[in-house]
Amino acid sequence: MTARQNIQEAEFFGVGSYTVGEAARLIGTSALNISRWMKGYTYRRHQVEHRIAPLWSSHWPIVDNHLEIGFRDLIELRFVKAFTEAGVGLLAIRNCLECARECVDDDRPFSTRRFETDGRTIFLESIERSGESKLLDLKKRQYVFRQVIERTFKDLDIEDDAVARWRPFNGKQSIVIDPHRSFGQPIASKYGVPTVALAQAVEAEGSVDRVARLFDVSPAVVRDAVKFEESLLSAA
């Protein structure tokens, strides 16, 4: 391995790297949404072009219009997706992000321990600052925001005040996304084998037990890997 490859691996270690397509599959949204949230977009109204800025800048710089995002970006996007699905508008999310950055002192505030505990308060403060309170059913929004935070943090592991790992298969311990392992790709947590490799092997071999023996992985974990990969395909 060359010195340059060693440097590149060191840069990715603990950060993770995902294409737009990979991020979209993992959080269950469209690639278009990922691009719009992370790269911004333009639209025309009454012959005037308007530019909407990205919600934040990805950990990895955009090169030749190619977007790669880090693990913390992925978790932030997961929150954005959950909030939009719960009926929270992008303007409110953007305002909340800005307020949360100040309160938490982190460029990616949704994926912090502080946001887990104080997210609802931060949201209400951001709405108050924006002057939107008269336009919203605040009681309903408070409830929705609290529910989203509680539900989304359930399968996240926090260390050093920030999200360190995501257990993406119904919160089970068998599968993990950890930026310190396999560059943040989904793996069988106990064994370190990528879930996609296990699922593809089962498709090729036609037997969970045979694949379990080949990879020295428990059959239950192989089955979880297959179901997880199937869930990604169905969400695409």
Q: How far apart are CA 121 and CA 141, in angstroms?
A: 12
Tell me the average pLDDT across 134-147: 73
Residue 175 lies in a domain: yes
Give pLDDT, residue 22. 96
Tell me, yes or no, whether 177 lies in a domain: yes
pLDDT digits (tens, 9 = 90+) for 62-87: 888 899 999 999 999 999 999 999 88
User: In DSSP terms, which residues pair with 125 in a beta bridge?
Assistant: none
Can you tell me which residue has the tokens 């982190």?
106
Q: Which residue has the higher pLDDT, 191 or 141?
A: 191
- Do the beta carbons of residue 126 and residue 99 sit within 8 Å? yes
Query: Which run of H or of E encompasses 153?
Result: helix 138-153
Phi and psi for 210 in degrees, rounded to 5? -65, -45
Q: E-strand spans in 6-150?
A: 18-19, 41-45, 48-52, 68-69
> Cα–chain-centroid distance for residue 204?
30
Q: pLDDT tens digits for 220-229?
A: 999 999 999 9
- 234 is a domain residue: yes
Residue 137's pLDDT band, with cuts at 50, 70 and 90, is low
Band (pLDDT 50/70/90 cuts) for residue 12 is: low
Q: How far is CA 46 from CA 42, 78, 168, 212, in A?
A: 13, 34, 44, 61
> How many angstroms separate the Cα of 113 from the Cα of each of 9, 110, 157, 214, 236?
28, 9, 10, 40, 30
**Is 69 inside a domain boundary?**
no
Indicate whether 149 pLDDT > 80: yes
**Strand pairing partners for 69?**
18
Residue 83 in any domain: the answer is: no
> Does residue 80 form part of some domain?
no
The pLDDT value recorded for residue 144 is: 84
Cβ atoms of residues 41 and 49 within 8 Å: no
| 3 lies in some domain | no
Please give the DSSP secondary-structure letter assigned to residue 133.
G
CA angle (90, 71, 228) in 5-degree steps: 95
Q: 223: domain range? A: 167-236
Provide the residue type at 142 as one letter: Q
Exposure string of 117-133, with b = 16+ CB inside 10 Å and e = fewer, is ebbbebbbbbbeebebe
- 126, 96 Cβ separation under 8 angstroms: yes
Q: Is residue 78 part of a domain?
A: no
Span 27-53, average pLDDT: 91
For residue 184, is pLDDT > 60?
yes
With a CB cutoff of 8 Å and minimum separation 6, the contacts of 236 are 24, 25
The amino acid sitting at 30 is: S
- The count of structural domains within the chain is 1
Least confident of 128-132, 147-151, 205-209: 128-132
- For 83-134, the pLDDT digits (tens) are 999 888 888 899 999 999 999 999 999 999 999 999 988 988 887 776 665 5
- In whole angstroms, give the CA distance from residue 175 to residue 95: 34
